[in-house]
Chain A
């Protein structure tokens, strides 16, 4: 039977990895993730977890270790944040291209320069196009659950998954977390069955140079060129939402908590104005929605839990009757607008042609505090703009900055 523990987000992530019986861990400490490798190294040294812990000298090597350990059939784990994630960048492409079911929590943190150790989502949003699945967490329960869920999904699809959660706001905040028993997790997540096994009699050259066009093997069978391999990755990501939902269904049967919906929804069904956001901001904005409702404004929240694959159809459907949308996010594609904003507009354009007023608010960069009351004004701004038929040209930065 499970039990409820009071855990930080980092402890929840480490405990999730332990419950998944990860076999190889390679991690380099970076604030605010450092506690994850610390806790895991203690599990390993106390023999509570049977795993190889490789205390690497960098994040680039952490992912290098994970890639090669996964290639020979081990269930692997790492965790990072911010510049550590950026330092891994080429390895992230490599891991996805090599189709390896690596699971990596990221304690979201802003990127230098100038240095900040505090939270925003610029780090993981910047890795959007690496071919990884990205789950975002709203609280510590979701961190633990989504680490476990991530292995279930990743090992079916052979696609790596980042489990992203706000640095400090979740990584260092204690919350009650229902922790399932080892037997329950074992029943949900059997040991990793690699798609092939090494055989000295049938040697293979893994991740070699490929040509642009299909080439025949010695028997004359045409084998894929570069685009063939990459198309398969895209196709599997396109069908990944169904796999995530199916795994979510089994998760619900096993643990009673539901992850069927790629979105978190709060009062969004009848809302005139909906906040679209990610991560723990969804909690803050739920309070904002309550404040707005008290003021007679029908506000709601849609939190994007699965950012890659992007749930475009579900999201467009969720906003079908909405008049105005305020996209509130802690990241920006410099020179344009927030990535979530762009992707939401694309989803609306592609899937229902519905054109609510979509305004973008950049908040909370480098740990800037975001209070629920801070987001009341943006909601009113969107509604006013609707009346006046005004559209937003550039994202608005909320932060009382000089």
Chain B
């Protein structure tokens, strides 16, 4: 069961006045992440949209300790925090590392793979908005097929999105989960659970981005929900190799009412030049993955 909004802790760690774009999914998710993890959390982040959220010196809207680091070294920084806090007797902190898809799927993969292999005791969150949004919507390996970006400006991206979640699962982390900013209850529960587990915990967080995806800023929650309702994003978690679907995904899986991907694609201008054949491939890829995940979940 997802935690009801009214049952969430009242203490806020994301104060009003963040510098993210209007309609950004990130501060919504971040608010619930920090509510779940509490004040004794230290976050490390590379140069990314979260840096913008954390504000410009000497002010910050974030009420937990934060360390900024170089782009490729988020998980290395987390390893350093874990080691340094342990060596100095401060290991009651939860170490949170949080980077975008560029800082995770692409440049940060080496440090993350290393930290996960070392079974570093930390929570790593990849907030995935499917392109290099902070530098102006350039293609990443998380960008889906058929999407326009500023570095695929004429021919939309031809390759599929990298299946990074599988790459992380191959590291056998202590906990792995996927979630989405449009489902705060699901998200909150997963971070509460992650906090209680020791070892490497990896959470893939889908974040709709109005500026990069091309939809009205009022529709961030709606787009995120559509991503889940169409099976583009699948909510699940893996503990000790046991995978289970969660939240909205679980109810769709049980009811069989998965919506066509077209409903998700047509609301975003980044897909406006997607060819019908590409849309078919896109749908097929979603269906294949959906069937695999449902089968794995025993549904």
A338 to B84, CA, bound (A): 39
CB <8 Å contact, B110 and A65: no
A-B contact pairs, 11 of them (CB 8 A): A24-B80, A60-B76, A62-B76, A68-B80, A74-B84, A91-B73, A203-B65, A204-B65, A208-B54, A210-B56, A215-B57
Binding stretch for chain B, among A49-57, A159-167, A351-359: A49-57
Check A314 for interface membership: any CB of B closer than 8 A.
no
Residue in contact with A58 in the complex, picked from B60, B65, B67, B114, CB distance below 8 Å? B114
CB <8 Å contact, A58 and B110: yes
User: Which single residue of chain A is at the shortest CB-CB distance from B111?
Assistant: A61
- Given the known inter-chain contacts A56-B114, A69-B84, A198-B93, please indicate yes or no for A209 contacting B79, CB distance below 8 A: no
CB <8 Å contact, B87 and A74: yes
Apart from A56-B114, A69-B80, A72-B85, what 16 extra A-B contacts exist at CB < 8 Å? Answer: A55-B118, A56-B79, A57-B110, A58-B114, A60-B110, A61-B114, A68-B44, A68-B84, A71-B81, A73-B90, A74-B84, A207-B69, A208-B66, A210-B56, A211-B56, A215-B56
CB <8 Å contact, A54 and B111: no
Please give, as numbers and ranges, the residues of chain A lying within 8 Å of B87 by CB-CB distance: 23-24, 51-52, 69, 74
User: Which single residue of chain A is at the shortest CB-CB distance from B78?
Assistant: A68
User: Which single residue of chain A is at the shortest CB-CB distance from B81?
Assistant: A68
**Complex A-B, nearest 3 residue pairs according to Cβ-Cβ distance, in ascending order:** A68-B80, A64-B76, A69-B84
Residues on B lying within 8 angstroms of A by beta carbon are: 39-42, 44, 51-52, 54-60, 62-70, 72-73, 75-81, 83-88, 90, 93, 110-111, 113-114, 117-118
A70 to B87, CA, bound (A): 10
Residue in contact with A217 in the complex, picked from B44, B58, B72, CB distance below 8 Å? B58
Interface centre among A52, A66, A94 (most CB of B within 10 A): A52
Q: How many residues of A contact B (CB 8 A)?
A: 47
- Given the known inter-chain contacts A24-B80, A68-B78, A208-B51, please indicate yes or no for A52 contacting B86, CB distance below 8 A: yes
Please give, as numbers and ranges, the residues of chain B lying within 8 Å of A198 by CB-CB distance: 42, 65, 90, 93
A74 to B83, CA, bound (A): 9
CB <8 Å contact, B114 and A203: no
B160 to chain A, nearest CB (A): 27
Mostly, the B contact residues are mixed
Please give, as numbers and ranges, the residues of chain B lying within 8 Å of A242 by CB-CB distance: none
Please give, as numbers and ranges, the residues of chain B lying within 8 Å of A63 by CB-CB distance: 73
User: Which single residue of chain A is at the shortest CB-CB distance from B95?
Assistant: A68
A187 to chain B, nearest CB (A): 22
Residue in contact with B58 in the complex, picked from A52, A61, A207, A223, CB distance below 8 Å? A223
Please give, as numbers and ranges, the residues of chain B lying within 8 Å of A215 by CB-CB distance: 56-59
Please give, as numbers and ranges, the residues of chain A lying within 8 Å of B117 by CB-CB distance: 57
Please give, as numbers and ranges, the residues of chain B lying within 8 Å of A60 by CB-CB distance: 72-73, 76, 110-111
- Given the known inter-chain contacts A57-B110, A57-B114, A65-B79, please indicate yes or no for A205 contacting B57, CB distance below 8 A: yes
CB <8 Å contact, A223 and B68: no
Check A296 for interface membership: any CB of B closer than 8 A.
no
CB <8 Å contact, B70 and A203: no
Interface centre among A60, A66, A76, A200 (most CB of B within 10 A): A200
